[in-house]
Structure 1
Amino acid sequence: MVAGQTIQMIGNDEVNGSKVYHLRAKWSDGNAFDYYIDQNTFMIAKTSTQIQQAGAVQLIESYPTKYRKLNGVTLPYSLDVRVAGQSVFEMQIQQVELNPAIDAGLFNMPQPSGGK
């Protein structure tokens, strides 16, 4: 947990026909995030939060699915994001590579052009 954050068990619920545990994480600034954890797999079935945008409260929901295990790590290979119930973003992951070798030069800051 993060300092100033609390997690509360809201109760049991259902997401897409699966029984889930409904948890709420609250931060000291008042923001909250709801997590719906599948009671059989313990994977996240849904997350939701409300944000203020253009003077209105918007409900943002994410539905991760198609979980697969890779090198002992279980990851979702599909994600559907909805705003006010409407799907606004869908992502399908084709391939995941865990801890690939990375050229350390990628982290070098570029030199300013025409600089002093």
Structure 2
Amino acid sequence: MKKLLLFVIGIVTTGQIIAQDLSPDEIVSRHLKATGQDKFMDMETMKMTGKMTQQGLDMQVTQYQKKPEKVRQDIEVQGMTVTMVVDGETGWVLNPMMGSTDPQDLNAESIKALEKEGNNDPTATWDNPFVTWKEDGTKIEMAGREDINGSPAYNLKFTFKEGYTINYIIDAAGFVLLKTKSIQNVQGQTYDREIRYSDYRDINGILFPGKLEMLVNGQIGQVFTIDKCEFNIPVDDSIFKKPVKK
């Protein structure tokens, strides 16, 4: 029993040493390799379908992406479909739940907020901060270590050129992303934001989390479960075009 205890202590201690030994560059490199980002970056299109749960309400979500910067998201809720499209620096939203049957343009502030949101959740974007951080002028530094369910993890702090920061928690063994942490300012109020990733699955050599939990001030607000993810399927440009007002 004593030998077994020493063996377990040795494993835990070794894990902690590994978590301290790697540089931020090495952690990023291993994360990209472990998750198959080289394969993901070669993909031209992607379609994800899943379910989002918020305050007991289930919503079906379908998202299309096409290089270089086209994204369309359809959310079906209470018999209506909310559509949002972003193409580079322009975008539009159609939200019948707000009583509108005409698409509305997204302003520059909204587009910037969506870009920041993409950095908060880098698991399904070609503009991945782990890939583009050097060319984007992002600063990366170690922010210590965390214990996630008894396993060591790296805490990497990214400081973006716009001035905001996001902490990415990377598993020290498998090098997958376990969570992101950031501070959000909404209408003068400050909130702690966290996204947790789990249920990783291999799709054509690319690791994707099958479940995302979004927390605000420690409370779960949304849960997104991915049912299916497809790559390099035909995606017509017409689905990103803003409909003509009725």
Structure possessing the higher relative contact order (Cα contacts under 8 Å, 6 or more residues apart) = 2
Task: Please point out which of 26, 51, 56 is paired with 2:184.
Answer: 51
Match of 1:60 in 2: 193
Normalized against structure 2, the TM-score is what?
Answer: 0.42
The one-letter code sitting in structure 1 at the alignment partner of 2:171 is D
Identical aligned pairs, as a percentage? 29
CA distance in 2, matches of 1:80, 1:109: 31
Match of 2:155 in 1: 22
Task: Please point out which of 22, 33, 47 is paired with 2:166.
Answer: 33
CA distance in 2, matches of 1:30, 1:107: 31
Task: Please point out which of 181, 196, 206 is paired with 1:73.
Answer: 206
How far the C-alpha of 1:57 sits from its partner, in A, is 1.6
> What aligned pairs does 1:64-103 form with structure 2 within 5 A after superposition?
64-103=197-236
How many residue pairs were aligned? 113
Higher helix fraction (1 or 2): 2
The answer for unaligned runs of 5 or more in structure 2 is: 1-132
Match of 2:139 in 1: 6
Deviation digits for residues 46-101 of structure 1 (CA, Å, limit 9, x no counterpart): 10100112323200000010000010100000000000000000011111111212
* Compared CA separation, residues 33 and 101, structure 1 to 2 (3 A): same
Higher strand fraction (1 or 2): 1
C-alpha RMSD of the superposition: 1.9
The answer for unaligned runs of 5 or more in structure 1 is: none
SS in 1 for 2:227: coil
The one-letter code sitting in structure 2 at the alignment partner of 1:92 is T
